[in-house]
Chains A and B, each alone.
Chain A
Amino acid sequence: MTTPSTELLVTMAARATARPATWRRILRDPQAIVTLALLAVIFALGLLTPLLTSHGPNAADLSVVNAPLGTPGYLLGADETGRDIWTRMLHSINTAAISAIIGAGVALVVGITAGLIGGYFGTVTRATTEWLFNLIMTFPGILLLIILMPVTGGDYRFTMLVFGVLLSPGIYRIVRNLVLGVKNELYVDAARVSGLGNLRILSRHVLVVIRGPIIIAGAFLAGSAIAVQSGLAFLGVGSTQIPSFGSMISSGFRNLYVVPTQFLWPSLMLGVITASLVLLGNALRDILEGSRPKPAKVGNGQRALAAPGAPASDADTLLQITDLAIAYPRPAGGLIEVVRGVNLSIGKGEVLGLVGESGSGKSQTAFASLGVLPDEAVIARGSIRFEGRELVGLTDAQMRPLRGAGIAYIPQEPMSNLDPSYRVGAQLVTGVRSALSIGHAEARRRVLALLKRVGIADPQRTFDSYPHQISGGMAQRVLIAGAVASRPKLLIADEPTTALDVTVQAEILDLLRDLQRELDMSVLLVTHNFGVVADLCDRIAVMQHGVIVESGTAEQVFADPQHEYTRMLLDSILDESSLRTDPPVSIGAERSAR
């Protein structure tokens, strides 16, 4: 068991060194610094209350009722009963701080404890805690706090205690999910193997992982505890002897027409405190959890850096890719090219195999031909011509008539490529109608016929099924039917068999070969597997690190591979017997792996 133990040590060491860096990052973030500083100053003022005030918070002097700003001894004036507003402000800060500590503290303690239990222990325990917290979540908290006034006596500390429990489901969910994620990670397994007890595993490893999200949640919890306490005090829940922003705002609000500025001070202070807490929470989230996904501009068409030149293409060529380069922005700035000057051509009725390992840029090349590269991608240079027409630089609207009827696509992962909310038939019909501009009945008839053609025994039943009701192999047949339904001239198949069982793989390849002959389509077959290529392809292009390293007819490449990488891939057919054992890599992971 030495290997996992080493991994464990490495993980721990990585975490230990990551810690000071995080603090430095927080101290370098302007939003975090400003909000932290504001909160520190405000709460320091609260702590220094005895030194900064000369009145009691409830000491009323009728001679200074509604005294204006700057009255001697009454810096911010006095309220409707002659109490010093400045003094009451400072005392209110303390009330707010105590509310935040109790509310957030209880929520964290209850939520974390239950989250650890629910996440770490068995399904029965989890179901119970789950149910309990769903229950807590479904009742309006403030209403409950008001209803329970006869019980709590309105004491704001007791109220905040109850409110903390009401806030705990949010924390529970965060912790439970994190624990579930961590639980099966290698280093906890390793810890278990090396004989650590449950409690020590929980406290040592899991708490390290949940620390970040908890700190973030803490800021938001403190904010909402203060806001709710003020709201309740504003309503008049609780003792009138406790100075708080809520009661000050309430008194100022009553006096709105007499001294309009009275409610301004507590409102301003309350606003600054809650805003600082929320903004601090946001800043911490950005620092600790990294940037969140950004919106993608859907339907803008692919971005091209340079206008393509006009290379000659002969009449027999269906798709001509010349010097194509695709780049992605680097996190540190600048662009990194993942496809670097690819040249490909596919003749009419020809089947071209584009072979390479994950991350070699073959899928990116395929997406670029369809005009569906991810939003961040940029076509740095080069040209893609389909039937002599330049595709680089086309808008999405200009590209759309080509899709389906001109170029069609079969994806790798059958399940994730069907919309889970629509019946299989409905999503195919929409596509056929869009591509061919035909009526619903005609499209439906066509889809049903194709489902039968791709080897589905009961087409009507599959047509009426939801994606989760059919098997992976059947889903892939459905997607093939969806791709060929509009009789495309070029079919791009991206690893069409990789995600399937080995027995189903052969059937799908047979189907593709038959369909190609029947419809006289050209096919661009993207794969990492030379076994698949040998079955189907007329010509082969081998791709590595974004470059085509070798191309030729299938016979040439198989008989006499020129490039070392090609030989390596060919050798691996024998090893892996055309079955890929690692899970298919998603596009996101593929990109970040580069």
Chain B
Amino acid sequence: MLGYIVRRLGAGIVLALLVTFITFALLSTSFHDVALTILGPGATPKITADLIAARGWDRPLIVQYGDWLFHAVRGDFGESVYTSLPVAPSVMQRLAVTLSIIVPALLLTVVISTFLGVWSASRGGVIDRISQGISLIGYVVPGLLLAIGLVVLLAVQLKWLPATGYTPFAENPGAWLRSITIPVIVLTVGGVANLAAQVRGRMIDELRRDYVRTLRTRGIPTSTIVIRHALRNAAGPALTVLSLEFIQMLGGALIIENVFALPGYGSFAFNASLQGDIPVIMGIAAFGVLLVTVVNLLTDLANGWLNPKARVH
């Protein structure tokens, strides 16, 4: 088991290095434009060249990346070109906002999808049609439209919830809950559409397997077979889908944050990109890939726990 964890962790580190390096390499092609953006329209070539030299952007790519990495592994991601604020704390602060809508949405997605998927796979009929209908709606309606639709309905028309804005949990838990409700609903609908269909399909496959029949012939109650045996075997593949779902939500949250004016990761990334704030962009990429690595590792661990064969390789 330990070897398995180490191998998965190693794969995660390789991913993190590659993504940050590729991002850095791609960004390096725009250093000149970034310098012009920083200096404004009146910059002479001399001043521009000076700035590039001062930032070290004229050094070989690999040296620059090595330099960034050397500091990054000690937690020093540099400072914003514009605000001179250290990158790491501001990224984490923004990430917290984004995670506060993604994590509840993910939990809800798991609970609802498992319930719908298992129920519709083992009972069929009306329940099955309802859950497939929900999946279809989630697929057919883009998240952006759903978000705006819910704002118009729940915030503008019914005035039940605030249309935009974010209240930190520490400030007022009730207001926090109200401010994240619509974003969480939007992300959950999209997540359930995908995951419930996966759980359903997997469960249908599992329930048709031979071992299910053999367990039945031993007099084991159906509910035990469905939950303890079929669901456990269906959970592994569904979990992989869930980790991809998380990655997708991380992307989807960027658009949602904009609709609801949440001061999250997405708007932060957007502004940094617009301004060409290289240290901030690199910090965002690094934290993003770390988050993905952690989630993938957790998925692999859960898979190893669920599926004894996965532990071997």
Which residues does A use to contact B, with CB under 8 Å?
A: 135, 137-144, 146-151, 227, 230-232, 234-237, 246, 249, 253, 256-257, 260, 263, 267, 270-271, 274-275, 278-279, 282, 292-299, 367, 370, 372, 374, 396, 400-405, 407-409, 411, 413, 416-422, 427, 430-432, 434-435, 466, 468, 479, 482-483, 486
Chain A positions within 8 Å of B217 at CB level = 370, 372, 403-404, 407-409, 483
Q: Are A299 and B247 in contact (CB under 8 A)?
A: no
Whether a CB of chain A sits under 8 angstroms from the CB of B85 is no
- Assembly CA distance A403 to B124 (angstroms): 25
Q: Are B209 and A404 in contact (CB under 8 A)?
A: no
Whether a CB of chain A sits under 8 angstroms from the CB of B108 is no
- Assembly CA distance A586 to B234 (angstroms): 21
Chain A contact residues: over half helix, strand or loop, or mixed?
helix
Chain A positions within 8 Å of B215 at CB level = 419, 427, 430-431
**Contact residue among B125, B142, B273 (Cβ-Cβ distance under 8 Å from A150):** B273
- Chain A residue at smallest Cβ distance from B149: A267
**Contact residue among A147, A296, A409, A430 (Cβ-Cβ distance under 8 Å from B204):** A296
Instruction: List the one stretch of B2-10, B15-23, B39-47, B165-173 in contact with chain A.
Output: B15-23
- Assembly CA distance A538 to B19 (angstroms): 71
Whether a CB of chain A sits under 8 angstroms from the CB of B262 is no
Other than the known A138-B292, A140-B248, A482-B214, what 6 A-B pairs have Cβ atoms closer than 8 Å? A147-B284, A234-B255, A274-B142, A417-B214, A421-B306, A430-B215
Chain A nearest CB: distance from B243 CB in Å?
A: 8
Whether a CB of chain A sits under 8 angstroms from the CB of B86 is no
Chain B positions within 8 Å of A404 at CB level = 217-219
Q: Are B211 and A430 in contact (CB under 8 A)?
A: no
**Contact residue among A253, A271, A294 (Cβ-Cβ distance under 8 Å from B142):** A271
Whether A151 touches B27, Cβ cut-off 8 Å, given contacts A227-B144, A279-B140, A435-B219, is: yes
Which residues does B use to contact A, with CB under 8 Å?
A: 15, 18-19, 23, 26-27, 29-30, 33-34, 120-125, 128, 136, 139-145, 148-149, 151-152, 156, 200-201, 203-205, 207-211, 213-226, 229, 232-233, 244, 247-248, 250-252, 254-255, 258-259, 265-266, 269-270, 273-274, 276, 281, 284-285, 288-289, 292, 296, 306-309
Chain A positions within 8 Å of B251 at CB level = 140-143
Chain B positions within 8 Å of A275 at CB level = 140-141
Chain A positions within 8 Å of B244 at CB level = 137
Chain B positions within 8 Å of A150 at CB level = 27, 30, 33-34, 273, 276, 281
**Contact residue among A151, A298, A434, A468 (Cβ-Cβ distance under 8 Å from B218):** A434
- Chain A residue at smallest Cβ distance from B119: A295
Interchain residue pairs with CB less than 8 A apart (11): A142-B254, A143-B288, A151-B29, A237-B270, A274-B140, A292-B201, A293-B201, A295-B121, A296-B204, A411-B210, A434-B218
- Assembly CA distance A236 to B215 (angstroms): 57
- Assembly CA distance A191 to B198 (angstroms): 37
- Assembly CA distance A482 to B218 (angstroms): 8
- Assembly CA distance A396 to B125 (angstroms): 18
Q: Are A135 and B18 in contact (CB under 8 A)?
A: yes
- Chain A residue at smallest Cβ distance from B163: A256
Chain B nearest CB: distance from A281 CB in Å?
A: 9
Chain A positions within 8 Å of B223 at CB level = 299
